[in-house]
């Protein structure tokens, strides 16, 4: 029996009259690649924000690496790395400076920091561009740099919120290769969301599907296919969540201004 690195119990997040996350309970095991799937507006990003101390839950408990992100914020924050859905680099700094700043904020000692930055930037094939300003980088390069940054402080868990969105197939493949390799070599648990079912199928050990704020299925990709009697994860996903297009916009209008900004 593997140890759990993340434990979520009865987690709920309400924005005024709208429940974004509704009483979800699940665990992520140490060292696995865990895919958190769901249609737009299902509650994925809100869940990640609660796990990463950016938003407070309305109720329920979370444990990350044994820490409660609502009470032991700093220990919880030191335990994870995150690649956000939107870019979060400083465009006016160079690639190296962005990573160095991250290392300093996370208290990585100078010797380790230098080695680690070189190792990770070479790993994502950006070492020769280290002194370029990030504003000159393409979307794919920024993403790779953010992945390197996410691993910099030796986190126990790396969260990735739709890391391959809007990227070409070459970059997407590379990104999954990096993640699988780091997961294997350093044992970092990977928690990801994506809309590319094929990719989720290929990389993840276990999957949870969330819809309308509730976990509606979890297990390995095989479990989900068996459960729905479908051949691909995409078909299984559609069988579970329905074919209907989600009207996220309507829901957004019902939310307060602040909540709207969260969900973007």
84 scored as a contact of other proteins (CB under 8 A)? yes
Can you tell me the distance from the alpha carbon of 238 to that of 240, in angstroms, rounded to the nearest whole number?
5
89 scored as a contact of other proteins (CB under 8 A)? yes
Q: Which residue, 9 or 135, has its beta carbon nearer to other proteins? A: 135
Using the structure block, give the residue that is written with the tokens 């299925």: 217
Do the Cβ atoms of 24 and 210 come closer than 8 Å?
yes
52 scored as a contact of other proteins (CB under 8 A)? yes
Closest distance to other proteins from the beta carbon of 64 (Å): 12
Do the Cβ atoms of 219 and 227 come closer than 8 Å?
yes
DSSP letter (8 states) at residue 204: -
**Exactly one of 9, 105, 222, 254 binds other proteins (CB under 8 A); which one?**
105
87 scored as a contact of other proteins (CB under 8 A)? yes
151 scored as a contact of other proteins (CB under 8 A)? no
107 scored as a contact of other proteins (CB under 8 A)? yes
Taking alpha carbons only, the member of 23, 52, 15 closest to residue 193 is 52
**Exactly one of 59, 91, 115, 198 binds other proteins (CB under 8 A); which one?**
91
Instruction: Starting at the earlier edge strand, list the strands of the sheet with 4-15.
Output: 18-29, 4-15, 59-64
Taking alpha carbons only, the member of 187, 183, 219, 172 closest to residue 35 is 219
56 scored as a contact of other proteins (CB under 8 A)? yes
Can you tell me the distance from the alpha carbon of 42 to that of 44, in angstroms, rounded to the nearest whole number?
6
Residue 22: how many other CB atoms lie within 10 Å: 17
Report in angstroms the alpha-carbon separations of 44 from 40, 71, 156, 210.
8, 22, 20, 7
Choices 3-11, 89-97, 167-175, 193-201; region in contact with other proteins by CB under 8 A: 89-97
Q: Which residue, 53 or 204, has its beta carbon nearer to other proteins? A: 53
**Exactly one of 27, 90, 205, 235 binds other proteins (CB under 8 A); which one?**
90
Can you tell me the distance from the alpha carbon of 48 to that of 63, in angstroms, rounded to the nearest whole number?
13
263 scored as a contact of other proteins (CB under 8 A)? no
112 scored as a contact of other proteins (CB under 8 A)? no
12 scored as a contact of other proteins (CB under 8 A)? no
Choices 79-87, 119-127, 185-193, 224-232; region in contact with other proteins by CB under 8 A: 79-87
Helix (H) or strand (E) holding 33: strand 33-37
Q: Which residue, 92 or 115, has its beta carbon nearer to other proteins? A: 92
261 scored as a contact of other proteins (CB under 8 A)? yes
49 scored as a contact of other proteins (CB under 8 A)? yes
- Site residues (vs other proteins, CB under 8 A): 49, 52-56, 74-75, 77-78, 80, 82, 84, 86-93, 97, 101-102, 104-107, 257-258, 261-262
């Amino acid at each position: 029996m593997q140890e759990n690195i993340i434990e979520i119990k009865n987690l709920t997040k309400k924005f005024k009259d709208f429940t974004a996350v509704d009483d979800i309970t699940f665990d992520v095991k140490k060292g696995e690649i865990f895919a958190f799937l769901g249609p737009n507006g299902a509650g994925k990003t809100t869940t990640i924000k609660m796990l990463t101390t950016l938003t407070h839950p309305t109720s329920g408990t979370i444990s990350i690496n044994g820490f409660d992100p609502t009470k032991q914020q700093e220990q919880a924050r030191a335990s994870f790395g995150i690649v956000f859905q939107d870019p979060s680099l400083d465009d006016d700094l160079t690639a190296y400076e962005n990573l160095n700043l991250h290392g300093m904020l996370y208290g990585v000692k100078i010797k380790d920091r230098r080695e680690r930055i070189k190792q990770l930037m070479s790993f994502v094939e950006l070492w020769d561009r280290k002194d370029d300003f990030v504003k000159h980088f393409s979307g794919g390069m920024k993403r790779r740099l953010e992945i390197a940054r996410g691993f910099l402080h030796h986190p126990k868990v790396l969260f990735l919120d739709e890391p391959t969105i809007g990227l070409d197939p070459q970059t997407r493949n590379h990104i999954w290769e990096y993640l699988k390799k780091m997961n294997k070599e350093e044992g970092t648990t990977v928690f990801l969301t994506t809309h590319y079912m094929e990719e989720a199928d290929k990389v993840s050990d276990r999957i949870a599907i969330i819809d309308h704020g509730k976990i509606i299925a979890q297990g390995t990709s095989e479990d989900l296919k068996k459960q729905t009697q479908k051949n691909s994860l995409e078909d299984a996903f559609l069988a579970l969540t329905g074919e209907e297009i989600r009207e996220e916009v309507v829901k957004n209008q019902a939310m307060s201004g602040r909540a709207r900004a969260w969900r973007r």
